Amino acid sequence: MNLEEQIRSYKDRLRIFLILYYFSDDYSSPEHPDYRKVFKSEVRVQKIDFLIRNPDYLAYELLALAVREPSKQQEIKVIVKLIFNTSEPQLRRMEMERFFFGAYEDIDDVIGFLKSINFIDFTSKKRMDLKTIEKQYYVTKLAINKVTSAMSSLPALDWYVKRCQLIKKYFGNLSGSQLKVSQYKIEEYKNASFKNFIGEISETVENEYNKMFNERL
């Protein structure tokens, strides 16, 4: 594995773990005392991951929320402006391919690694056609302790932590299916060809921002 692949692998593991950590619910069970949080559905992992990896789509979703909830317009204006002023759509973008149900990337290797270091565990069921369903991910006490102690000493985590917190604040109550429906309303996302990368929408976001605030990004 070359250096670029190593960096990509590190980013994937970090990003997926932080999604499981920040978007999970508290959990306790006498059968598994080490499990402290639970996250349901791989679909939800994929849809949150898409928003982290595509800041222009996140900005679009925020502007759509501002239309539905005008009381949030000013705070969303500040966020979207910062996303574009710091060139996130270009610098932070990590493309995802379009599959049958929208943006998707195989995360089995990442999940396997996180399980191997006892950061998570998971369960799933099989349908009659042997398709894996109802995936649930459990974050362990060890992982929580490690993350808590590492936050202040690893500045590389900071952007990912803040981005997870931001997405959770505005969209954390949505299921994977609800996030999928919302993302499918965007033409470039919906019309992307199967197994092709989903195109960027920076120009669309800039136009929507200009219409809403009479100001250019």
Q: Say what the pLDDT of residue 133 is.
A: 63
Q: Does some domain include residue 74? A: yes
Q: Does some domain include residue 102? A: yes
Per the structure, how many domains does the chain have? 1
Q: Does some domain include residue 217? A: no
Strands lying side by side in the sheet with 25-26: 25-26, 35-40, 132-140, 120-126
Domain span including residue 130: 3-212
Q: Does some domain include residue 22? A: yes
Q: Say what the pLDDT of residue 130 is.
A: 57
Q: Say what the pLDDT of residue 60 is.
A: 98
Q: Say what the pLDDT of residue 127 is.
A: 66
* Chain CA centroid to CA 23, Å: 9
Q: Which of 170, 164, 123, 169 is nearest to 147 (CA)?
A: 164
Q: Does some domain include residue 43? A: yes
Q: Does some domain include residue 31? A: yes
How far is 17 from 103, CA to CA, in rounded Å? 18
H-assigned helices in 69-201 = 73-85, 88-91, 108-116, 141-150, 158-171, 176-184, 187-190
Q: Say what the pLDDT of residue 100 is.
A: 86
Q: Does some domain include residue 64? A: yes
Q: Does some domain include residue 146? A: yes
For the chain, residues with pLDDT lower than 50 are: none
Q: Say what the pLDDT of residue 106 is.
A: 95
pTM assigned to the model: 0.94
